[in-house]
Amino acid sequence: MVKYNYIPRFGLNALTNKDSKIISILVNTPDFVERTPYERPFYGNIIGELESMLRKRGYYIMLFSSKNIPEIMKMTMGWNVDGIISISMPAKYYKQIGKQTGKPIVSIDMNEYDPAKIAGCFNVTSRDYEGGRHMMGYLLDQGIEKVVYLTNTKSGADYCWYLGASELYRERLGENAALEIHMLGRTYDERAMVYDEMRRLIGRRSALFFSTDFNAVEAIGYLQRRQISIPEDISVAGFDDDIYARLCNPRLTSMSVDVSRKAELAVNMLMRLIDGEEVRESEPKIDAVIAERESVMKVEEGLDY
């Protein structure tokens, strides 16, 4: 086999009942993504980590991504894969895919915030609720008095961050202090309208807390082109701590989650399920920590903001 450079026919194995050594990666493309999920660093990072870790274990990946979940399910059913890792998949479809394929399946960041819906699923995620509280506490500790939360969706991790941040906002500022939330559109023009509205917060000891670094950096650019200084006029914080956060000017303060660790936990869990082992910890969570940079201003008492 070595002499003649024999290469196993993985495609044939994937169409038969033999072990295919292929893991299917299913990406539920969020509705707010304008073109492809891979324009967002999170998806590229997590898929790259999964591919590297699985290859070291002798597996190849088969990648499907779509906003049409039934289409993803149809494609998955057509192949004999050894296991499945889903990303941003709602619990309803996670369970359907597992039942119809009969294959071990592990989720990363299931698109749910209701613990009851996630019960019985294998899901690797982060401490999103706590992360939202942590960032809100940090912003208020800097002397900021008004925070606005800007997000793409009212579901999954994005909404968990809001719930945690909103709770601490009320605890610190009083029961009548409701955390303002704004939805960001799918297109740039739609999002720019929201960014423009935020100009009303200039000089009010305010901060914009975004659910993604992508939108936070986009907003910084929009405001700076209109001679608004960050963070002197208004502070900005994000969530993801991706490459955008480190390249923008000023560099973005963001919540950081170890994507590599998420991938490692998901792969380890899937391998154990494939081997028929019992997995007792079905929902491991990664801590979210603040990556402090220069986009949030510490407001000194008695000084104009």
Residue 54, domain CATH? 3.40.50.2300
Q: Give domain status of residue 24, yes or no.
A: yes
The domain in which residue 180 lies consists of: 128-256
Pairing outcome for strands 146-151 and 206-210: parallel
Contact predicate 79/24, CB 8 Å? yes
| Overall average pLDDT of the 36-52 stretch | 84
* Of residues 11, 24, 13, 16, the one with CA closest to residue 274: 24
| Domain assignment present for 169 | yes
- Residue 155 phi/psi, 5° resolution? -150, 170
Stretch 16-39: mean pLDDT, rounded?
Answer: 75
Length of the chain as a residue count: 305
Asked if 265 and 124 touch (Cβ cutoff 8 Å), the reply is yes
Q: Are residues 101 and 156 in the same domain?
A: no
Question: Which residues are within 8 A (CB) of 41 and not within 5 positions of it... i.e. 6 or more apart?
Answer: 213, 214, 240, 242, 243, 244
pLDDT, tens digit (0-9, with 9 covering 90-100), for 245-288: 999 999 999 999 999 999 999 999 999 999 999 998 999 999 99
> In terms of domains, do 121 and 137 share one?
no
The answer on 277 and 232 residing in a single domain is no
Instruction: Report if residue 250 sits inside a domain.
Output: yes
Residue 189 lies in a domain: yes
Considering the domain boundaries, does residue 1 fall inside one? Answer: no
Same domain, 243 and 262: no
Query: In 10 A of CB 50, how many CB atoms?
Result: 26
Whether residue 120 is found in the same domain as residue 237: no
Do 208 and 225 sit in the same domain of this protein? yes
* Residue 6: pLDDT band with limits 50, 70, 90: very low
Q: What percentage of the chain exceeds 90 in pLDDT?
A: 64
Q: Does residue 286 or residue 12 have the better pLDDT?
A: 286
185 plus 282 within the same structural domain: no
Q: How far apart are CA 209 and CA 151, in angstroms?
A: 9
Asked whether residue 296 is domain-assigned, the answer is no
Residues 13-16: contacts with CB within 8 Å, 24+ apart?
13/80, 14/62, 14/79, 14/80, 14/81, 15/79, 15/80, 16/80
Residue 1 pLDDT > 50: no
pTM: 0.85
Flag whether 8 is in a domain.
Answer: no
Residue 134: what residue type?
Answer: H
- Does residue 68 lie within any of the structural domains? yes
| Domain end among 235, 256, 277 | 256
Asked whether residue 179 falls in the same domain as residue 95, the answer is no
With bands split at pLDDT 50, 70 and 90, how would you rate the model's confidence at 225?
very high
Beta bridge partners of 238: 254
Same domain, 119 and 266: yes
Write out the two tokens for 11: 């495609």
Dig out the tokens for 134 from the structure.
């942590």
The phi-psi region of residue 21 (left if phi > 0; otherwise alpha if psi is between -120 and 50; otherwise beta) is: left
Both 54 and 154 in a single domain? no
Tally of structural domains, the chain? 2
Same domain as 211, residue 146: yes
153 shares a domain with 74: no
62: which strand partners?
Answer: 24
Over residues 139-158, the mean pLDDT reads: 93
CB 304 within 8 A of CB 260: no
